[in-house]
Amino acid sequence: MKNRFKRLICATLSAAFMVSAISAIPAAEVSAKESIGNGVILSEDAITLSENGVATFTAALGEGFDASRLTCVVADPNVATVTPVAYAGNVAAFQVNYVGLGSTVAAVVHMDNPAVVAYTTINASSVIMNVPAKLGADKKNYCELVSYEFVPYDFTYADYQDYKSTLKLQFKCTSYRDEDFRKWGCYGYFRDAAGNILSKVRLYAGALSVGRTYKGEFNVPANAVSFTLEGFSN
């Protein structure tokens, strides 16, 4: 992905010179969570956007350098856009805006020296995902989430507009120590902004086997803002 950016960054740098001046802000410290590139440090190495949401992050150069010379290039602008909003000395602030479902990578690069660059991943989803490290209620038999994606809800007749997207998950069995129970299940909950449960769903595996990957698919209610899977961390 980063190699693909090289041509995109070079093509974008000339346009970046046209960006209008942005307002100054008080100096800000870079957070402990950093994406350290060649000469620039980002406050976030991964950003999650809910539907129509916004987020911010900062980029810091070394002391004495001018952060107004930084710009940001997004690999897939159909997922998100990133714009500079302010700067102070060697620190610049950027705003990330939701465009559509998906994942992409953004590169913060120095306009005078493309070798000064750092990357952050942007994940735009229909809901905020709350996923524990280990799924299920049984500490002997449990699974872990491998991946998930949101895809457009494809049943769009007028009488069936209760859902806004479909959530597809892959999960893997990582512990199977109680062989008396081969079947496994895990509940998930879609909630609205007030915390009300809109839908209760269940991940299911009919025959557990360590290392085996399973799939689940659920429709996301139109007013859902979060999805929580039951489980534990240790």
Mean pLDDT calculated for residue range 113-135: 90
CATH number at 128-232: 2.60.120
Residue bearing tokens 């799924």? 135
Six-digit token string for 120:
């952050």
In single-letter form, the type of residue at position 46 comes to A
152 to each of 23, 45, 88, 126, 149, how far by Cα in Å? 38, 27, 40, 10, 10
CATH number at 40-124: 2.60.40.10
Residue bearing tokens 């007030």? 194
Confidence of residue 33 (pLDDT cuts 50, 70, 90): very low
pLDDT of residue 11: 54
Checking phi first, is residue 58 left (phi over 0); if not, alpha (psi -120 to 50) or beta? beta
pLDDT of residue 6: 56
Question: Which stretch of 69-83, 121-135, 201-215 has the lowest confidence by average pLDDT?
Answer: 121-135
pLDDT of residue 88: 94
Q: Is the pLDDT of residue 21 over 60?
A: no
CB burial readout 6-19, b (16+ within 10 A) else e: eeebeebbeebeee
Q: Where are the domains of the chain?
A: 40-124, 128-232
Per the confidence metrics, is the pTM higher than 0.85? no
pLDDT of residue 124: 87
Helix (H, G, I), strand (E, B) or coil at 225: coil
8-state DSSP, 71 = E
Return the number of other C-beta atoms located less than 10 Å from residue 203's C-beta: 21
Length of the chain: 234
Mean pLDDT of the chain: 83
Per-residue model confidence as pLDDT tens digits over 145-169: 998 888 888 776 655 668 888 999 9
Q: Is the pLDDT of residue 180 over 90?
A: no
